[in-house]
Amino acid sequence: MKNFFFEKAKNITVNDLLQKLSLKKLKKNFKINDIKELDTAEKHDISFFHSKKYSDSIKSTNSKIVITNKKLKNIIPKHIKIIEVENVILSVSLVTSLFYPSALDDTFDKNVKLIDIKNFINLKVGNNVLVGKNVKIGKNCSIGHNTLIESKVRIGNNCNIGNNVIIKNSIIGNYTNILDGAILGKKGFGFFPSKKNIRYPHVGALIIGNNVEIGCNNTIDRGSLSNTVIGDGTFLDNQVHVAHNVKIGKNCIITGQVGFAGSSFIGNKVMIGGQSGISGHLRIGDNVQIAGGSGVIKDIPSNSKVMGYPAKNIKEFLKENR
Amino acid sequence: MKNFFFEKAKNITVNDLLQKLSLKKLKKNFKINDIKELDTAEKHDISFFHSKKYSDSIKSTNSKIVITNKKLKNIIPKHIKIIEVENVILSVSLVTSLFYPSALDDTFDKNVKLIDIKNFINLKVGNNVLVGKNVKIGKNCSIGHNTLIESKVRIGNNCNIGNNVIIKNSIIGNYTNILDGAILGKKGFGFFPSKKNIRYPHVGALIIGNNVEIGCNNTIDRGSLSNTVIGDGTFLDNQVHVAHNVKIGKNCIITGQVGFAGSSFIGNKVMIGGQSGISGHLRIGDNVQIAGGSGVIKDIPSNSKVMGYPAKNIKEFLKENR
Amino acid sequence: MKNFFFEKAKNITVNDLLQKLSLKKLKKNFKINDIKELDTAEKHDISFFHSKKYSDSIKSTNSKIVITNKKLKNIIPKHIKIIEVENVILSVSLVTSLFYPSALDDTFDKNVKLIDIKNFINLKVGNNVLVGKNVKIGKNCSIGHNTLIESKVRIGNNCNIGNNVIIKNSIIGNYTNILDGAILGKKGFGFFPSKKNIRYPHVGALIIGNNVEIGCNNTIDRGSLSNTVIGDGTFLDNQVHVAHNVKIGKNCIITGQVGFAGSSFIGNKVMIGGQSGISGHLRIGDNVQIAGGSGVIKDIPSNSKVMGYPAKNIKEFLKENR
């Protein structure tokens, strides 16, 4: 999906990048289109390789130029040009801010105004509904009191948005309900710890599918480079927290106070009991059932039922804890 | 307590029900007044029996007609007429929507207006306070800025409602405080998973007693068929989540980030430490103390102290985890 | 830091206190300036000693008059005058309400008005921003839509406050961001359980340093007698709960849904993973790393890495739970 939330700088060259990273320029300069993750990068995009977890992706990527470090560079196929740095993620952050100079500004949207329902088809709105520029809202939607929809957000048909909701940098499908107090699309909790923490640009979006329900007081952050995704038919209960880049599949049931750390991938028809936590960068298969209160710290294959902290086979857990 | 939040359809007969459930009509038709749980049903109400957990209730119910399945029907006393279905809860949902056709609409209240304090006795209100139709608010109350009180809500005397609060389908006693950002009385997280999840009508209310405190950013859902109840003198800290049908007794202390799954019953003078989770359909006795971080997955008798996940006797837990 | 949020009663004498506590008056009356904790009390302040945990503080305090009970009074140095009571904390509460008669009123601020940016330097504000009396906001700040800043709050330079934020009784440094939906400075969850719970006056403030980030829907309570403190450079993710009197050091990273019970002390450069809980009255050293989902119930020395519930050495925990 094309990223239309952040304006991309044009005519960035590899030597602009190298300068930003305080590295030696190349003799033969060339243009770079964008920065993307390995799996989504196209041939004129730069990408990055910062963990062996992505060894499959580095083999199949379309990118021809990759930021990496000394330790990992030998795994990279020969046809890919390497930019070697000390701290891959910090360098990616610098390059991202070169492409998206406005992405670090996460202050409130100054372009919002009281909504005018005449601009939309059969829209019902409450009091004090604020809407930004270039917002698209489909037909037959409702938006509750004191809700704020920032510029460029897209909402499909037949959606119900509750009261006190805040939506930014998000694309929402059809027949989806967003309940009271949800905060969607804020930048993720990504930064480089230092004396004065360096904030990381989050240029990804939050993509929510069709027939989804997002519970009260949920906080769902947008992606950093890729998107955060909530699949069709997935329902989230109250007080759920979804960090940046998390991808939740279709027809999942996520009960109250569940939390997802960044970049985890959740399959389809996954059921997660209340207050469970899913660590970052994990892969949870399809049809997985996670009992309430579990702490998941490693990948879970499809069709498993787990429980406990750390989560393990539910039968084993219950036997050990009779 | 009479349910005045949802308009009940009149003149519903048993054959209307059977038609809705795609079952054969009876030769001798008769009127049915309402659908209720076994313990609260009166003689002209239909009820349902979906789990052996409710074996005591099926023996003592006043209902004379009950929805159940093949497996459970033999336990039901002979004088009760049986409607046998495959999926009891789905059938209950269909029957409920027949009695309460508007209960599935959980969009924002279109009848709210800026509050006029002249309609109330010694009421203090902040900016942008919205109030629905037929709201009752007792004397000497205060309501903070940007708070929304939907139609038919009842609030007693000497209550303080904070800022950014949302209240719907709720009845609140006297001397009760609702703190900033709390969201009360939304429909519960109940639905039937399918390709396009079928939402469940929640016609219950949220009943909050006297001298109660509800913390900031709490989410307390209303009941489905019965009510969600918070007893007199019970205090809830911030970020607590209470699911539908939960009944919390008197003088309980519920600390931060605790979560209750649906339909659990909590006794009086129960103390629950921070971040504990209580599974659904449990019975916690009086004077129970649950240490912070516990995960309670089975009933707890009165006067127990428990800790751990799953929660067990606190001395045993601490001995094992020294 | 001088407490300017609550007006202190003047000319309180020791006999006023004794009368409030229903104790016999002294023949030789004298003035008392304030009530403070042992470590911050000066020589004309009264203090209190309610737990052996504070045995070091009772030896070094500057206070010359202390409320305590029969069990603890023998530990107190001879030069300190003792007021012996049955319930120390309840007595402290009564004395506090004598000094700060208005501190129990935690209803909404009736003095707020729509903000006038002309009173501030280069301030950007959204719609419906409400601000109380005597609020100080530094230069180059932004405040999002529907945000409420109560009387006497102080915000430094170059701060960004999000949408739907509520701030009271707080002092905020420079270059600090408060994200959407955060609720800062409400009274803590402190009271004396009884038939009608007796609320405890919370006269402390919430002090937030420079370069801090407070996540969406955080709830951070102000202190009771001392302050709640968030140190310079500390970042909090979404849905974090910080109870009264907690002191978090500098450059800490607190991820989503973490909860802190009251009065714990967290060192510098502490990293806490998602959903972890920290019990009350604990001391966590510097550079401590606490893995996600942990439940910390005892002090942790500096430079430790812990995990589990209850939290223990991370290597040990992972070995036991392979």
Task: Give pLDDT, residue A60.
Answer: 96
Query: Locate tokens 């009848």: which residue?
Result: B111
* pLDDT tens digits along B65-116: 999 999 999 999 999 999 999 999 899 999 999 999 888 888 999 999 999 9
Mean pLDDT of B279-301: 97
**Mean pLDDT, all residues of chain B:** 95
Which of the pair, B52 or C273, is modelled with greater confidence?
C273
* Residue B315, min C-alpha distance to chain C (Å): 14
Tell me if the bond preceding B310 is cis, omega within 30° of 0: yes
Query: Would you give the distance in Å from CA A301 to the centre of its chain?
Result: 22
Mean pLDDT of B302-316: 97
Is residue C145 scored above 90 in pLDDT? yes
Confidence of residue B193 (pLDDT cuts 50, 70, 90): confident
- Residue whose C-alpha is closest to residue A108's, from C237, C172, C165, C175: C165
Minimum-distance CB partner of C148 among B163, B239, B275:
B163
What is d(CA C230, CA B296) in angstroms, rounded to the nearest whole number?
32
Confidence of residue A310 (pLDDT cuts 50, 70, 90): very high
* Residue C87, min C-alpha distance to chain A (Å): 36
| Full strand arrangement of the beta sheet holding C81-84 | C46-48, C65-68, C81-84
Is residue B256 scored above 90 in pLDDT? yes
Task: Give pLDDT, residue C192.
Answer: 82
Report CB contact under 8 Å: A145, B130. Answer: yes
What is d(CA C294, CA A310) in angstroms, rounded to the nearest whole number?
10
Is residue A271 scored above 80 in pLDDT? yes
- Tell me the residue type at B60: S
* pLDDT tens digits along B125-160: 999 999 999 999 999 999 999 999 999 999 999 999
Name the pTM for this structure: 0.94
Task: Give pLDDT, residue B2.
Answer: 62
Report CB contact under 8 Å: B108, A274. Answer: no
Task: Give pLDDT, residue B112.
Answer: 96
Percent share of chain A, pLDDT over 70 = 99
Task: Give pLDDT, residue C1.
Answer: 53
Q: Are A123 and A138 in contact (CB under 8 A)?
A: no
CB < 8 Å & 24+ apart, contacts of B277-285: B277/A257, B277/A274, B277/A275, B277/A292, B277/A293, B279/A273, B279/A274, B279/A292, B280/B243, B281/B51, B281/B53
Q: Which of A33-47, A48-62, C85-99, C245-259 has the highest mean pLDDT?
A: C245-259
Exposed / middle / buried, residue A13 (Cβ in 10 Å: 0-12, 13-18, 19+): middle
Catalytic residue among B50, B202, B241, B244: B244
Domains of chain A: 14-99 (3.40.1390.10), 113-320 (2.160.10.10)
Is residue C274 scored above 90 in pLDDT? yes
What is d(CA A109, CA A167) in angstroms, rounded to the nearest whole number?
11
| Cβ of residue C186 closer than 8 Å to a chain B Cβ | yes
What is d(CA C164, CA A148) in angstroms, rounded to the nearest whole number?
10
Query: What single-letter DSSP state applies at residue B10?
Result: S
The three-state secondary structure class of A317 is helix
Q: Which of B120-124, B202-206, C6-10, C85-89 has the highest mean pLDDT?
A: B120-124
Confidence of residue C193 (pLDDT cuts 50, 70, 90): confident
Confidence of residue B192 (pLDDT cuts 50, 70, 90): confident
Positive or negative: CA dihedral C40, C43, C46, C50: positive
Task: Give pLDDT, residue A2.
Answer: 62
* pLDDT tens digits along A89-103: 899 999 999 999 888
What is d(CA A136, CA A145) in angstroms, rounded to the nearest whole number?
19
The yes-or-no answer on residue B244 being catalytic is yes
* pLDDT tens digits along B17-49: 999 999 999 999 999 999 999 999 999 999 999
Backbone dihedral angles phi then psi of residue A266, each to the nearest 5 degrees: -115, 130
Task: Give pLDDT, residue C300.
Answer: 98
| Cβ of residue A111 closer than 8 Å to a chain C Cβ | no
* pLDDT tens digits along C93-133: 999 999 998 888 889 999 999 999 999 999 999 999 999 99
Minimum-distance CB partner of C166 among B142, B180, B239:
B180
Mean pLDDT of A15-23: 95
Task: Give pLDDT, residue A103.
Answer: 84
Q: Please, which residues have CB within 8 angstroms of residue B71's CB and are 6 or more apart in sequence?
A: none
* pLDDT tens digits along A65-117: 999 999 999 999 999 999 999 999 899 999 999 999 888 888 999 999 999 99
Q: Are B290 and B270 in contact (CB under 8 A)?
A: yes
To which H or E segment does residue A260 belong?
A: strand A259-260
To which H or E segment does residue B94 belong?
A: helix B88-99
B305-308/B283-284 β-pairing: unpaired
| Cβ of residue C196 closer than 8 Å to a chain B Cβ | yes
What is d(CA C201, CA C207) in angstroms, rounded to the nearest whole number?
18
- Tell me the residue type at C292: G
The three-state secondary structure class of C60 is helix
| Cβ of residue B211 closer than 8 Å to a chain A Cβ | no
Task: Give pLDDT, residue C191.
Answer: 85
Backbone dihedral angles phi then psi of residue C60, each to the nearest 5 degrees: -105, 0
What is d(CA B15, CA B18) in angstroms, rounded to the nearest whole number?
5
Task: Give pLDDT, residue A192.
Answer: 82
Mean pLDDT of C234-258: 98
Nearest CA in chain C to B255: C189
**Mean pLDDT, all residues of chain C:** 95
Angle ∠(C119,C120,C125) on CA atoms, nearest 5: 105
Is residue B53 scored above 90 in pLDDT? no
Question: A243: which chain C residues are within 8 Å (Cβ-Cβ)?
Answer: 237, 256
| Partners of residue B161 on adjacent β-strands | B143, B178
* pLDDT tens digits along B196-229: 888 888 999 999 999 999 999 999 999 998 999 9
Question: B130: which chain A residues are within 8 Å (Cβ-Cβ)?
Answer: 126-127, 145
- Residue whose C-alpha is closest to residue C119's, from C149, C84, C83: C149
Report CB contact under 8 Å: A239, B241. Answer: yes
| Cβ of residue C316 closer than 8 Å to a chain B Cβ | no
Confidence of residue A1 (pLDDT cuts 50, 70, 90): low
Report CB contact under 8 Å: B189, A215. Answer: yes
Is residue C197 scored above 90 in pLDDT? no
Is residue B233 scored above 90 in pLDDT? yes
Minimum-distance CB partner of B219 among A177, A217, A293:
A217
What is d(CA B181, CA B161) in angstroms, rounded to the nearest whole number?
10
Mean pLDDT of A130-155: 98
| Cβ of residue C265 closer than 8 Å to a chain A Cβ | no
Confidence of residue B322 (pLDDT cuts 50, 70, 90): confident
